[in-house]
Structure 1
């Protein structure tokens, strides 16, 4: 019973399973069919959309082609219009060229006809010229027969006579003009120099090479000397000045060629004496302090000099150097006083000549600037001064005037000549520079000796206080051309052998005399 039931159950189960499988298969088949239908619908829709998109793209492309075609047609039309305009211009130019060509053709024909006329006239003139030449030759032959001279000989004789007469008249005229110009220039120069000298009245003070310091008592000499002379050695080393302590009562002598050093030493020694403390360390401190104060004083002196002359805008270092000139001398003449005098004389002469007075005064004031440092720098003081002026920004004209005032370089401007003249005036005026009689006589003898040392010189005379040298030569040994060389050689030897203020004029005289007696 149980087994039949089990079998029945299994059969039922198998039948149910088969029915379920069939049902499930039917479901799968239905889903597959549904999916296939869906896919076909999607494909159909996609095809429809692709066709629609294709149509839309084709339409857009046709629109773009139409637009580009329209733009190209418009561009072609615009270019056609431009081409038509160019063709019109070319046509117009061609018409103008044709008209010009026609005009040129007409002108060319006119020129050809004119050239033919000129050729005929030229031929006619040539024939006439030949005829005239024949007439002239005939006349020349007749004149040669009459005068007995050829045409060339007659021409040369006439040319010589005309040349001789013309040269003689020209030489006379040149001589007269030169004499008049020289006399006028000399007279004018004398007037200007006289005016300058009359308008200036300066004091002249001779500078010495020693200074004295008064002592309160004789005991102070021992304190100045110090133990084993250490104090006096310290003073001399710090100041560069020699101290002379002799039997002169209550006096110490300071000896040095530099007035600036003497002044520093004098002030320092006076302060040490008044203070009473005299020893090497104190001496060094006082000398340093006096040097600093002296530097300030130098600037004040330089500023006062520029103020007195009326010159402004000078570099501060040049102002200090001008102050330093106050303590420099040249042949016992104070260099700063000399520079102020030269500046004033330059200004007066510049005013007489209608030149720039301030520039002339500036050049005169700075002309001896090199003497402030010529003991420290090698070379002539004129060149040193010119270098300093150039370094501190002075103008080229001022620099040249400084460099040329002793003719170290040839003067090329009127200003340079004015400075030369004013410098000579200031140094040559009586009393301006001190010179011993024996030195003066010795210098004149040396001048004459230099001149007579040359061959062909008979006599030599130093005149105008040694400012001019007259040299008489033998006319048989020295010809006219050689006297110029001799003059330069004498001047060059004087420059090499002698030292002198200003300049010396050398004049060489050659004279030949013929003497006859009528009896």
Structure 2
């Protein structure tokens, strides 16, 4: 045990001795490293100090350069300020001289003004002594002279301006009217008093005449139209001055020919249907005319407008005339810068009263205006319609435009034929005279007015009274109407009984 202890002590002593012997060289090495590090640090310190000195030197040089430039700028600014002060001093001295000169001029002007006033007063006094007028009297005389000269001068100027304005207005009016007429190009087909109806074959002429002329007499009595059957191949002619009656007869006869059955009962049925169909066609014509012009009309006005298609004035178709007046009125309104829509409406409706003037008394312009008012047209349109023949005084440019458009449409060469109008009026007067007798049911002028065919109420006139009625009518025609040649008065009294077999 002791041996082991001794061995351990010896081993420990040997290890301690070995450690002590090895620590000596390590200590020396550490000292060398420390010395080397100190030398390196000292060297680095010197380098940094040198760099810092160099940077400080550069900064100092830069700052000195800046300071030098700033001093130079300040020096230049001071020089400029000094020069400006010198100039201001010179200007101040100059202004003082100018002020002194102005003061002297003002004193001189004041002196001259006072001298002038004194001289004017002396001159006025001297003029008053020479002229024998006071100041107020001279002023009044001068004003009168100036007023007289001014009146003469301005009178010449006003006269010249009026003359020039009149010339320009005439040129402008001529240009507007010429433009309106040139831009509106409507064609007319001359109205006549006959219509031709083609036949499928010659045998239909016999059917139309009927046994003992029964069919043709019935047809003429129901339509008031003369049916001419002559040698013209495959054609018959309807003659009547009244275009609506002539159109009803044409439609009825065409339907009879298509049907093939021609007898009095069938004729009466076809005539009634033709009248109904023509009434619908009249409505359609009125609506079409309004649509073509871009105007919305009350249905009753459209119907009355359609009736104008079968009405003429001096040979001029009234529906075509109304549409033309509407077109011309629109163009004139556009040229003059007023409401063209009202001009179109007034132009289209200006003769609407002619559709009912056989039923209503009064000038057609006032009848037209009353109808337009009744169916909701504006006050301006109604006034323009009423004034287009100056039955009332025109009050606006629109009234004058409608007058001008109506005149332009009617006055164009070939638009109207006065001879035809007189002929139609003569036949119309002949029929109206016959209808004025109480027993007359209907009267139709035939053969261009050479015959008047009269149907009487069978319950109001006997055969004897019918004969006397023919005599009375003939004498009334001789006394009241002017006509060429002679007129045959044909009074027809017919009693018809109808019964149905069941």
TM-score (norm 1): 0.51
- Runs of 5+ consecutive residues of structure 1 not aligned to the other structure: 1-141, 440-519
**Residues 175 and 277 of structure 1: is their aligned pair in 2 closer, same or farther, counting only changes over 3 Å?**
same
- Between the aligned partners of 1:359 and 1:419, the Cα distance in structure 2 is 10
Match of 2:182 among 198, 202, 207: 198
Shift, 1:214, TM fit:
2.5
Pick from 200, 205, 208 the counterpart of residue 224 of structure 1: 208
Q: Are residues 1:326 and 2:309 paired?
A: yes
Quote the residue 2:401 is aligned against. Answer: 418
Is 1:207 aligned to residue 199 of structure 2? no
The structure with higher relative contact order (CA 8 Å, sep 6+) is 2
1:289 to 273, 290, 295: 273
Match in the other structure for 2:353: 370
Q: How many pairs align?
A: 299
Moved more, 219-228 or 366-375: 219-228
Structure-to-structure mapping, 1:21-420, within 5 angstroms: 165-312=149-296, 314-420=297-403
Partner residue, 2:26: none
Tell me the alpha carbon deviations over residues 387-414 of structure 1, each in whole angstroms, 9 at most, x when there is no partner: 1111211111111111111222221111
Spell out the pairing of 1:472-511 with structure 2 (5 A cutoff): none
Deviations 1:10-34 (A, max 9, x none): xxxxxxxxxxxxxxxxxxxxxxxxx
Aligned-partner Cα distance in 1 for 2:168–2:243: 45
- The answer to whether structure 1 residue 427 and structure 2 residue 375 are counterparts is no
Query: What is the Cα deviation at residue 268 of structure 1?
Result: 0.5
Instruction: Give distance in 2, aligned partners of 1:233 and 1:143.
Output: 112
Classify 1:246/1:173 alpha carbon distance in 2 versus 1 (closer, same or farther; 3 Å): same
* Residues 314 and 419 in structure 2, CA contact (< 8 A), matched pair in contact too: no
* TM-superposed deviation, 1:171: 3.4
* Cα distance, 1:393–1:237 mapped onto 2, change above 3 Å: farther
SS in 2 for 1:291: helix
Corresponding residue for residue 490 of structure 1:
none
Displacement, 1:154?
9.5
RMSD value, Cα: 3.3
Instruction: Confirm or deny: 8 A CA contact 1:213 1:270 kept in the other structure.
Output: yes
> Structure 1: how far apart are the matches of 2:224 and 2:405?
34
Distance in 1 between residues matched to 2:227 and 2:172, nearest whole Å: 53
Instruction: Measure how far apart 1:216 and its partner are.
Output: 3.7
1:335 Cα deviation from its structure 2 partner:
1.4
Q: Tell me which residue corresponds to 2:457.
A: none
Q: Distance in 2 between matches of 1:155 and 1:261?
A: 87
Normalising by structure 2, we get a TM-score of: 0.53
Offset from partner CA, 1:442-488 (integer Å, 9 cap, x none): xxxxxxxxxxxxxxxxxxxxxxxxxxxxxxxxxxxxxxxxxxxxxxx
Question: What is the alpha-carbon distance in structure 1 between the residues aligned to residue 127 and residue 229 of structure 2?
Answer: 107
> Alpha-carbon deviation of 1:353?
2.0
Aligned partners of 2:132, 2:214: CA distance in 1, in Å?
111
Unaligned runs of 5+ in 2: 1-125, 423-502
Using a 3 Å threshold, how does the CA distance of structure 1 residues 149 and 231 change in structure 2: closer, same or farther? farther
Equivalent position SS for 1:326:
helix
Partners of 2:402 and 2:266 lie apart in 1 by 47
